[in-house]
Amino acid sequence: MEDNQEIVADNSKPRTVSVDLQADPSLQVEISDAVSERDKVKFTVHTKTNLTHFKRSEFSVVRQHEEFIWLHDAYTENEDYAGIIIPSTPPKPDFEASREKLQKLGEGDGSMTREEFAKMKQELEAEYLAIFKKTVAMHEVFLQRLAAHPVLRKDHNFYVFLEYDQDLSVRGKNRKEILGGFLKNIVKSADEVLITGLSGTKEVDEFFEHERTFLVEYHNRVKDACMKVDKMTRSHKNVAEDYIPIASALNALGTQETSHLNKNLLKLGELLEKLRKLEGRVASDEDLKLSDLLRYYTRDSQAAKDLLYRRLRSLADYENANKALDKARMKNKDVKLMETQQQICCQKFEKLSDSAKQELINFRARRVAAFRKNMIELTELELKHAKASMLLLRNGLIALKGDQ
Amino acid sequence: MAAEREPPPLGDGDHTDFRELDDAEDLFASTVSTLESSPSSPEPASLPAEDISTKPNGPKAAQILLDDDQEDLFAEATEEVSLDSPERDAILSSDSTPAITPVTPTTLVTPRMEPKSLSASDLFDISKDEIEEELNGDTFDISVSVSDPEKVGDGMNAYLAYRVTTKTSLAMFNSSEFSVKRRFSDFLGLHGKLASKYMHIGYIVPPAPEKSIVGMTKVKVSKEDPSSAEFVEKRRAALERYLQRTVKHPTLLQDPDLRQFLESSELPRAVSTQALSGAGILRMVNKAADAVNKMTIKMNESDAWFEEKQQQFENLDQQLRKLHASVEALVCHRKELSANTSAFAKSAAMLGNSEDHTALSRALSQLAEVEEKIDQLHQEQAYADFYLFSELLGDYIRLITAVKGVFDQRMKCWQKWQDAQATLLKKREAEAKLQYGGKPDKLQQAKEEIREWESKVQQGEREFEQISKTIRKEVGRFEKDRVKDFKAVIIKYLESLVHTQQQLIKYWEAFLPEAKAIA
């Protein structure tokens, strides 16, 4: 059973989407370091454990993104875990956009002053750093959810991932991955049909019926919300960045100005410069608290849908086994065989359903807690920034009016 | 703006307030003395109605300004306003307002001292502190507003008519509040007239808003759509600022063309303002010729002040253009932010609807509402970004072009003087030659020509000195206005930013308990 406690004061890494997963001391996993090279990121995965299975109680390995994918696929391909929501893969580290922006800046736009250039560079570097921190957090949460899950944590591949200090040599899998990916998508669309009830498979369980309709709609809407909030935060960043050349031009005007208007111009420039930092923080907080949250639940709701697909496939198998048994009974051929088959299918299905039900209940609780936490934190941050901005502007106004 | 005022009925049909103006000659011939001087007391007291004939020294300074120029000024003025023509009635009658009492022409209207209901941009608040020494305590108690854009006609011949309302206690106007309908080309026509009369003698005439073929075509063709509504509002505000700047100018205020523009219900259509008309093309050619001339005039600047100022304005121009471009980018991005926030709000509402946990569902809907309100805030802020900040910068960029133009006029004036001197020299040489040549009648003519050119040289020098003097004064006034305008806008803009933050605090504070209530 997962713990759904409120987060304990651990501010070493930005925990954006999941509530604290480090409550269990028997297996604690974190990404203690990360290095960004040319086009890959190397994560240092650090484990602390008192489980006897491991050779040591504390150890670190270096892993790259592809190895996380490998681990995820190992879980999804394992039938034993069919009734569990497998934590979705962290997104691939993507610094492309940020790198492009930095490059464009470097190539030079002769219209910028040195000051402006330095500020823009600072902004872009901060952005790069933020993206970096986020990708670390995503990979970490993935591992932590696995470590916290009573069944998934016991997986052999997981131990290997955590402990084996050599390269897992999974990079060659890329082509196979791509082909596998195609196949998965085809199978998935068949499953979509299943799950949207267009096939003949009857759903007898009210709970799952509700979950099915709910999840399909929810997933689409959360995906859409994520896209829209991304656009919004990007616009917000643009607005913040626009203050840079404005502040700079105001400073230039103010320095040139011979009348006592110069004070006002310089003051406005100063205020806008400070304001843009605050606006920038608002944008990045919205990104962290809303954007990442919605992105996470887009993927997690997809994982939940995958669970439902698997269950329905299992149900279909069960129904087929029933039909085969009836046929066998009619022909009076292989009855014993078919009976065993049918029993196996039945057991599988029921086990899966029970597990799935629990998983979906947990999913809901997790989701509600995460939304609650993030919405509260978002609101508190927005308030903090708005109050700081207002104070800054008010004091500026008082100073200006006083000079009149 | 002027929306709250009930529009006084337009039209020449109603002559109930027609005043006999036996002394109309006085009224118009000496525009100099019509500026009413008020005692410099700040409280809104009723100004005594003064008899113009007993106010010989009133606007002393105004006389100084117009003294030498009287000829020029009135030579053209009498063409425009033909006092004995049948149009007199139309020109002199104004809209009826209840406060006007029929008075004899020498006792002017009791000025109504209502609280200065200036338009939204208090930028043009003409307070007592605005008194310049030269004008000896004259106040500019006049405010104009442009409102109620109305589409007249159909298709490509359609145009927008704006209501121009003037509120004033100045004696030279027939009433204290009146309004007329004007179209954009009327404004351009007014500017054209003022520019042709005053720029060449050194006055900085505020430039009119720019034409926009694209913008107007959209308005003519389309129905009610937000982008054309925006264009119309932008134009209305620009026209208002243009008029407010023009009436603030003490010399221009006395111009009969300006008065006619503000007061008379019918105005001859200014056709020469069309971009592609013959006059328009002529203007373009002249501008090009001027530019070439400017390059060839090498002036011996004896006065460092002018050189300094020109450089200053050049720098200012560059900096303002840069700032303007940056502010325009901000306006654009903020509008985008507003649109994206609105889209997100709708999406969040949908998400809230599909969420099956009741408390979370409610919280998400509340979040959607907060974001809707924030979208409104962004729109308002973008509006402030634009109308306060961006448009001010745009106006000043155009104003500085006018300032530069006036400096150029001085150069031309200098050149004219130099040319006269050169001609005089030639004439003198010619005369000297004739003296030894012995042709008495030609000699007489030569002597006459010399006298003629001597007076032209004198006039040239006088004009040059005059224009230099005028420019100095104008630049002083311009700078004062500029400082005042910018200071006011900076404060207002900051206030708009403060307001936005205040509202944000309000909205988020209301939302916080909702988020915490998720169980």
What is the 3-class SS of B172-186, one letter each residue?
CCCCCEEEEEEEHHH
* Number of other CB atoms surrounding residue A304 within 10 Å: 24
CB contact under 8 A, B502 and A390: yes
Which of A239, A245, A275 has the CB atom closest to B333's CB atom?
Answer: A239
E-assigned strand segments in A37-164: 41-49, 58-63
**A88 Cα distance to chain centroid:** 8
The residue of chain B nearest to residue A111, with distances taken between CA atoms, is B322
Instruction: State how far the Cα of A298 lies from the Cα of A229, in Å rounded to an integer.
Output: 13
- For residue B486, list chain A residues with Cβ-Cβ distance below 8 A: 261, 264-265
Instruction: State how far the Cα of A383 lies from the Cα of A304, in Å rounded to an integer.
Output: 34
Quote the pLDDT of residue A67: 92
CB contact under 8 A, A225 and B344: yes
Rounded CA Rg of chain A: 27
DSSP B62-88: HHHHHTTTHHHHHHHHHHHS-TTSTHH
Q: pLDDT of B207-261, one tens digit each?
A: 999 888 777 777 777 666 777 888 899 999 999 999 999 999 999 999 999 999 9
Q: Is the dihedral of CA A119, A120, A121, A124 positive or negative?
A: positive
CB contact under 8 A, A364 and B315: no
Instruction: State how far the Cα of A331 lies from the Cα of B354, in Å rounded to an integer.
Output: 50
CB contact under 8 A, B357 and A261: no
CB contact under 8 A, A235 and B348: no
Which of A224, A225, A228 has the CB atom closest to B340's CB atom?
Answer: A228
Quote the pLDDT of residue A371: 95
Which of B337, B363, B518 has the CB atom closest to A236's CB atom?
Answer: B337
Quote the pLDDT of residue A303: 94
Q: Is B367 on the interface with A (CB under 8 A)?
A: yes
Tokens linked to A25: 């001391």
User: What element of type H or E holds B168?
Assistant: strand B159-168
Which of A232, A368, A379 has the CB atom closest to B344's CB atom?
Answer: A232
- The ipTM value here is 0.85
Judge whether residue B286 has pLDDT over 50: yes
Judge whether residue B164 has pLDDT over 90: yes
Alpha carbon of A170: minimum distance to chain B alpha carbons (Å): 38
- For residue B355, list chain A residues with Cβ-Cβ distance below 8 A: 218
Banded pLDDT at A404 (limits 50, 70, 90): low
Banded pLDDT at B63 (limits 50, 70, 90): very low
Q: pLDDT of A87-96, one tens digit each?
A: 999 998 888 8
Residues A24/A148, Cβ–Cβ less than 8 Å = yes
CB contact under 8 A, A253 and B319: yes
The CA–CA distances, whole Å, from B280 to A160, A162, B220, B283 equal 83, 80, 22, 5
Rounded CA Rg of chain B: 29
DSSP A271-323: HHHHHHHHHHHHHHHHIIIIIHHHHHHHHHHHHHHHHHHHHHHHHHHHHHHHH
Residues 424-483 of B with CB under 8 A from A: 479, 482-483
Residues B168/B152, Cβ–Cβ less than 8 Å = no
> What's the pTM?
0.76
Instruction: State how far the Cα of B235 lies from the Cα of B246, in Å rounded to an integer.
Output: 16
Judge whether residue A316 has pLDDT over 80: yes
CB contact under 8 A, B360 and A372: yes
Helix (H, G, I), strand (E, B) or coil at A400: helix
Instruction: State how far the Cα of B486 lies from the Cα of B494, in Å rounded to an integer.
Output: 12
Alpha carbon of A90: minimum distance to chain B alpha carbons (Å): 23
Helix (H, G, I), strand (E, B) or coil at A138: helix
Banded pLDDT at B510 (limits 50, 70, 90): very high
- For residue A275, list chain B residues with Cβ-Cβ distance below 8 A: 497
Which of B312, B344, B487 has the CB atom closest to A261's CB atom?
Answer: B487
> Percentage of residues in chain A with pLDDT exceeding 70?
85
Quote the pLDDT of residue B385: 92
Judge whether residue B128 has pLDDT over 50: no
CB contact under 8 A, A242 and B333: yes
More confident residue, B465 or A166: B465
CB contact under 8 A, B312 and A258: yes
Lowest mean per-residue pLDDT among A39-48, B136-145, B224-233: B136-145
Q: Is B488 on the interface with A (CB under 8 A)?
A: no
Which of B356, B490, B512 has the CB atom closest to A400's CB atom?
Answer: B490
More confident residue, B376 or A131: B376
Q: Is B392 on the interface with A (CB under 8 A)?
A: no
The CA–CA distances, whole Å, from B294 to A316, B60, B154, B282, B420 equal 90, 36, 44, 18, 18
Quote the pLDDT of residue A129: 86
- For residue B316, list chain A residues with Cβ-Cβ distance below 8 A: 253, 256
CB proximity list for B96: less than 8 A, separation 6 or greater: B8, B9, B14, B16, B17
CB contact under 8 A, A232 and B337: yes
What is the 3-class SS of B328-381, one letter each residue?
HHHHHHHHHHHHHHHHHHHHHHHHHHHCCCHHHHHHHHHHHHHHHHHHHHHHHH
Judge whether residue B491 has pLDDT over 70: yes
Q: Is B52 on the interface with A (CB under 8 A)?
A: no
Instruction: State how far the Cα of B431 lies from the Cα of B439, in Å rounded to an integer.
Output: 10
CB contact under 8 A, A371 and B360: yes
Q: pLDDT of A232-287, one tens digit each?
A: 999 999 999 999 999 999 999 999 998 889 999 999 999 999 999 999 999 999 99
Q: Which of A110-114, A156-160, B271-275 has the highest mean pLDDT?
A: A156-160
Closest CA to B216 of B149, B261, B272, B280: B149
Instruction: State how far the Cα of A152 lies from the Cα of B111, in Å rounded to an integer.
Output: 89
Closest CA to A271 of A400, A383, A382: A400
**B374 Cα distance to chain centroid:** 36
The residue of chain A nearest to residue B370, with distances taken between CA atoms, is A379
Alpha carbon of B74: minimum distance to chain A alpha carbons (Å): 37
Banded pLDDT at A58 (limits 50, 70, 90): very high
- For residue A297, list chain B residues with Cβ-Cβ distance below 8 A: none
Judge whether residue A363 has pLDDT over 80: yes
CB proximity list for A96: less than 8 A, separation 6 or greater: none
Alpha carbon of B241: minimum distance to chain A alpha carbons (Å): 21
- In the sheet that holds A58-63, the strands lie side by side as A27-36, A41-49, A58-63
Which phi and psi (to 5°) does residue A290 adopt? -105, -55
- For residue B319, list chain A residues with Cβ-Cβ distance below 8 A: 249, 252-253, 256
Instruction: State how far the Cα of A148 lies from the Cα of B438, in Å rounded to an integer.
Output: 124
Which of A214, A253, A390 has the CB atom closest to B498's CB atom?
Answer: A390
Mutate to test the interface with B, among A112, A119, A211, A232 (most CBs of B within 10 A): A232
Which of A253, A387, A401 has the CB atom closest to B505's CB atom?
Answer: A387
Alpha carbon of B487: minimum distance to chain A alpha carbons (Å): 7
User: What element of type H or E holds A28?
Assistant: strand A27-36
β-pair partners for A49 = A27
Burial of B300 (0-12, 13-18, 19+ CB in 10 A): exposed
Judge whether residue B9 has pLDDT over 60: no
Closest CA to B221 of B150, B151, B147, B148: B151
Lowest mean per-residue pLDDT among A100-109, A231-240, B458-467: A100-109
Show the CA angle centred on residue B284, arms to residues B280 and B290, nearest 5°: 140
β-pair partners for A63 = A43
Alpha carbon of B131: minimum distance to chain A alpha carbons (Å): 17
The residue to which tokens 């605090």 are assigned = B505
- For residue A400, list chain B residues with Cβ-Cβ distance below 8 A: 490-491, 494
β-pair partners for B142 = B168
CB contact under 8 A, A268 and B493: yes
The residue of chain A nearest to residue B333, with distances taken between CA atoms, is A239
Instruction: State how far the Cα of A11 lies from the Cα of B278, in Å rounded to an integer.
Output: 74
The residue of chain B nearest to residue A112, with distances taken between CA atoms, is B322
Alpha carbon of A184: minimum distance to chain B alpha carbons (Å): 28
Quote the pLDDT of residue B29: 39
The residue of chain B nearest to residue A382, with distances taken between CA atoms, is B508
Q: What is the DSSP letter of B254?
A: T
Q: Is B360 on the interface with A (CB under 8 A)?
A: yes
Banded pLDDT at B38 (limits 50, 70, 90): very low
Chain pair A-B, CB pairs under 8 angstroms = 159
CB contact under 8 A, A364 and B357: yes
Which of B354, B363, B494 has the CB atom closest to A271's CB atom?
Answer: B494
User: What is the rounded (10 degree) CA torsion for B480, B486, B490, B496?
Assistant: 120
DSSP B21-66: -TTHHHHHHTGGGGSPB-----S-PPPPP-BGGG-SSTTHHHHHHH
Judge whether residue B134 has pLDDT over 70: no
CB contact under 8 A, B350 and A221: yes
User: What element of type H or E holds B166?
Assistant: strand B159-168
State the greatest distance between any 2 C-alpha atoms of chain A, in Å, as a whole number.
107
Banded pLDDT at B52 (limits 50, 70, 90): very low
Q: For B196-208, what is the mean pLDDT?
A: 92
Judge whether residue A356 has pLDDT over 90: yes
Instruction: State how far the Cα of B86 lies from the Cα of B104, in Å rounded to an integer.
Output: 21
CB contact under 8 A, B508 and A275: no
Burial of B101 (0-12, 13-18, 19+ CB in 10 A): exposed
Residues A356/A366, Cβ–Cβ less than 8 Å = no
Residues A224/A217, Cβ–Cβ less than 8 Å = no
Angle in degrees, 0-180, between the axes of helices A292-331 and A174-195, rounded to the nearest 10 = 70
Question: How big is chain A, counted in residues?
Answer: 404
User: What element of type H or E holds B506?
Assistant: helix B440-516
Q: Is B315 on the interface with A (CB under 8 A)?
A: yes
Judge whether residue B103 has pLDDT over 80: no
The CA–CA distances, whole Å, from B151 to B8, B72, B155, B236, B320 equal 19, 38, 10, 13, 34
Burial profile B172-199: b = 16 or more Cβ within 10 angstroms, e = fewer: bbbbbbbbbbbbbbbbbbbbbbbbebbb
- For residue A250, list chain B residues with Cβ-Cβ distance below 8 A: 323
Closest CA to B2 of B268, B267, B260, B244: B244
Task: Please report which residue ranges of B225-303 form alpha helices under DSSP H.
Answer: 226-248, 250-253, 256-263, 278-296
Please report how many Cα atoms fall inside a 13 Å half-sphere around the Cα of residue A312, on the Cβ side: 26
Mutate to test the interface with A, among B321, B328, B356, B478 (most CBs of A within 10 A): B356
- What's chain B's average pLDDT? 75
- For residue B333, list chain A residues with Cβ-Cβ distance below 8 A: 235, 238-239, 242
